[in-house]
Structure 1
């Protein structure tokens, strides 16, 4: 049994100023809706993150994606184009609040201009309605600052990393309990518990489906929702692991410190 005094009531990690940290971000999805032919996809990004200091109440970070790799157990028709789309956000200057939420993108216009150039070059050598839709979706996203911030806060981008830097509970009660929506699975509502360890530098998050049956569609039952953030003795964020699963899809997120 886990006792309440085994857990910290607060952990706040101050990143080292002007020191670049390298992380590997991996998203692995397994689609087993077709029981005879599971589809596996890996999306791997090498990212360099530098804390630049404070601007008023925000902590400023430069986030540079140096490389992207797609792995797939089936043929990827337009792998280069997918990489170009992902690299639309290759170098971002972010403002993060003390809850670990990205609230500002300082160089959004530069990102838009870079994407326009990428789109122009790609359209010289590729064409088709599917490609046009793909380019339009990224352009529409970049034109809406609120959507850009929401996207960057997602687990598929940088949300797990920044939330791991700032593990400040909302109250003194342990475990922290809250209700949240799983965006990946049609915003299904789950009840979440967050535990923060005192003996080992880590905190854990688990969830169960909401007691309100109106929140849970019968055809999209959540089978798994669990995460873990691990730190070294110097409170350096070393690794994040997060896994969610429903009837047809398993998603594993991993953020690993590589130096």
Structure 2
């Protein structure tokens, strides 16, 4: 699998929103990955982003107590709408977001979607970064801040038994980075299939080594992001 934005030895290099030109209309081909760095964008007053976000997004933004968290959320969702608007030739405010049925229970909380659109997409945000993925097949993406040793030690036993063994065998300095790779791969895949962490993280093996192990029917790729973060992309091999 090749990904628009280029490849480096340590992962796919995303396009950067605000630096690279917005895309043209979506055409079948390689998946696209975009990165947004919130500090690179001037803070927006509510009146600015409320013109673009829908009612559900506005309610969610208003619910944040801290201005920083509200700004991060608003920036990520405005960025998503700007990209979807460019791909679909729509005003960002006119993009109608919905949810696919959950594959587990059938409820309306599966993968995010634009009804009738020719592309699939996914969004993840952590800290000051937001990561967006677009593809012609189901797609998941995850970005996470690197976790401290105490958190890694607590979570490692809940992973796939082989991943737990791999990580336990590493010295602590190497374990932290390997855990970050493993966790973001797993989250990207689970978001791609639409279950999220309702599937136990011990079920699917994605690996913690330098190269991911792709589950059947999917392609996993690490994404090169800023220091202190890890990220991964999962793309289905066929339309689901």
TM-score band w.r.t. shorter chain: 0.3 to 0.5
Determine which structure has the larger strand proportion and give its number.
1
Larger Rg over CA atoms: 1
Determine which structure has the larger helix proportion and give its number.
2
Give the TM-score, by structure 2 length.
0.33
